[in-house]
């Protein structure tokens, strides 16, 4: 059971890293103007029809990817927190009780 949970946590962490890097890359590209484009514009997450994705300009496509990778990243953060909730509280609770960080790491290691 622990091995399966470890694999799930590892998969979530890798997906979080990929979503974060995509979000950073597209954000920098949009902000610094590396991606230009006219044509049909992207009206944000709520005003978008997925059937017209081929008509988007490069800039609008980057905005689309940027917005959705950000949403995916937030969802993965929440899943990550749920999966690590007991460990998080163990570290927090024991850090306030004991100022010895080595003791805290040892007591929360098996969660």
Helices 2-31, 58-83: crossing angle, 10 deg rounding: 150
Q: In the chain, where are the structural domains located? A: 2-81
List, for residues 3-36, the tens digit of each pLDDT value: 888 899 999 999 999 999 999 999 999 888 887 7
pLDDT of res. 18: 97
pLDDT of res. 104: 59
Query: For residue 44, what are the contacts with CB-CB under 8 A and spacing of at least 6?
Result: 67
List, for residues 61-106, the tens digit of each pLDDT value: 888 889 899 999 999 999 999 998 888 888 787 777 766 666 656 6
Element (H, E) at 7: helix 2-31
Task: Using DSSP, state whether 40 is helix, strand or coil.
Answer: strand
List, for residues 35-68, the tens digit of each pLDDT value: 776 545 555 555 555 666 666 677 778 888 898 9
How far is Cα 77 from Cα 66, in angstroms, rounded to an integer?
16
For residue 108, give both structure tokens.
Answer: 């929360």
> Exposed e or buried b for every residue in 26-37, given b needs 16+ CB within 10 A?
beebeeeeebee
How far is Cα 51 from Cα 69, in angstroms, rounded to an integer?
19
């Amino acid at each position: 059971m622990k091995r399966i949970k470890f694999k799930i946590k590892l998969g979530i962490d890798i997906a979080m890293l990929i979503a974060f890097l995509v979000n950073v890359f597209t954000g920098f590209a949009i902000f610094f103007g590396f991606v230009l484009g006219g044509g049909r514009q992207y009206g944000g997450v709520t005003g978008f029809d997925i059937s017209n994705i081929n008509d988007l300009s490069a800039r609008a496509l980057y905005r689309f990817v940027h917005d959705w990778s950000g949403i995916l990243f937030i969802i993965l953060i929440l899943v990550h927190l749920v999966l690590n909730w007991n460990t998080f509280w163990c570290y927090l609770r024991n850090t306030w009780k004991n100022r010895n960080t080595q003791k805290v790491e040892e007591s929360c290691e098996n969660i």
